[in-house]
Structure 1
Amino acid sequence: MAAASQNAFKETDVQLAADNRNRSKIARYNADPGKGELTVKIELADAFTIAPATLTHGCQPGNQAILVQPFQPFRPMDLPMELRTIIYNLVLIKPTPTPIQIVSFKVPSRDRRPVQRGRQLRIGHEGLTWDKQQGKWLRMAPSSLAITQVNREVSAEALEVVYGSNTFVFPETSDMDTFIRTIGSNERFVRYHEVPGESSWTDKRSSKIFRSLPPLANLRSIKINHRVVCSTLRAVGGVTFDGFISDVMPFLRALHNTIRQKDLSYTVLDVVKFVQDAQVCSGCGTGGHCRYRSVMGTCQVPCRGAQMDRHCEELQGRLTALLVKELEIAQTSPN
């Protein structure tokens, strides 16, 4: 029986240490074991948390232990503001920055309202995707903006992230006007904005849309489509450059005063930029020769390339010169 016991068990440090007669044998096991892995499976009826702990009292001070504690729920609003902002960013901002395209939508018996393109409701079915196999409309995926419906405090914090960290673009100036009139006090959060360039742009429309901009006095970037002021668009619309300046100057003056009062590190010259059109002709769209005449309302400059870059730079230079003169902005000389 004794022989069987000796064969069944192998000596360990613990066994040797527990036997005073074998204490001298510990030296041959005195090697650094390195790091070890321990897998523990714990099953309890109620939710719990686990945490490592080092014993400081009792018969085994210095030993490691695992504490199993009942789960204590907490309110997200008890988290520090910095952590809540990180959560809002993860929920509301895409990993790859993508402009949010806003269109206006008329709900029956209600006022026209701005919505994100692709999320318009349709009468008669519950979604926007038709499943051919099932023969029915599929529900829309939940919108991340649902987080703004939790309560007023969450809504206020989340909306600041929504409007302050995303770029909003508009197919038509009417969509832009509806958006600005609808968001109310959230206009103070908007920092990135794009003014569309329509082939039907007129002096009357220009005056109306730029009069709606002064409330957006915290903008960090406003991109204006070059088609707004292109002289070659006279046949299909557009405004003169002087007319554009007259319309936009009240907004730029308000923005300039805000930047100066807050003593920010940039000027209004860094905020306003002319950009090329996102729409391209059939040639540029297929990687071939530019056929700018195939796009209604494009100016007489190829859609992409060095000529378009110089075209936008020329418009930007004229705007910069006028702003420096009108607003008395001191420019830093290039090195």
Structure 2
Amino acid sequence: MRKAQALAVSLGDPAGVAPELIAEAWTRRGEMGLTPFFVIGGASVLSAAGASRGIKLDLIAISAPDEAAAAFSSGLPVLGDMDCAPSPGSPSIEGATLALHSLARAAALALSGEAAGVVTGPIAKANLADAGFTQPGQTEFLADACGLPHEDAVMMLAGPSLRTVPLTVHEPLAAVPGLITRELIEHKARVVARALARDFDLPAARIAVTGLNPHAGESGRIGREDAEVIGPAVAALQTEGLTISGPHPADALFAAHERKKYDVALCMYHDQALIPIKTLDFDQGVNVTLGLPIVRTSPDHGTAFAIAGKGVASAGAMIAALRMAGECAVRRSMSG
């Protein structure tokens, strides 16, 4: 079967910044060396979003994904006629319905091999729930679409300076200690190691594991989780041949000289992983889903309703997500 040449891009919430960032990314496709991509639906939304940034955006309606690569140099390919009225900054049920349709079809096209991968625009989960979205987020939606358990779809945040993986994601901080188990650490570390080898050409990725407590517990003086759960998990993974170390005190692990010593940091909870990546690489941060049979990336920011349509949102993370998806798709294609 001929390899898919273009990425499928889901629109995200049409009232957010994703449509205008997609439009700008297309105008910068040449200078940024972007793989051809097409958008699922939302032609009028994309046209209005481009106009809000002063972009002359030529849209090309395509009837199948394999038409996207040839059209890409002339205009932004759009697949499907589902649409809604442009309403930047004002989310609606119509917009949420379009966002869910766009996400579902993009995933289906990647799974069928008709798209090289998926790049997802940011969504507002509360709004999407009104349109029938039942998962905690897009990562879990894609795991379900691929027929995988949620724990097999691992979120990695990646930028020029740092890669991080949160062990627990959208959980209350008070619940985190009880959720950290040896089994969870070992499972996610294995997924990370395999994915970095396959998609990032890092066959022996160096994984640094953070501690949970201050100073990684100080040998049990500040909590027992580091010594009794995290440390033994790291030791077990080392016996399997993974290049892994820890637990490391999280307050020092993200200093510039420390970041040179590892390829990815496996962190214990959401903010421990996301604060450093957003501090260092906010405008170039990419959310990558590891462990799926398809390539999936997304800009590491939200819908930004407050600035939608004002022409001030940075397209850096969207461009980085498109570039990274293209690079991962090429690596998978070359490996068969």
TM-score by length of 2: 0.25
Relative contact order higher in (CA < 8 Å, ≥ 6 apart): 2
TM-score by length of 1: 0.25
Higher helix share: 2
Larger radius of gyration: 1
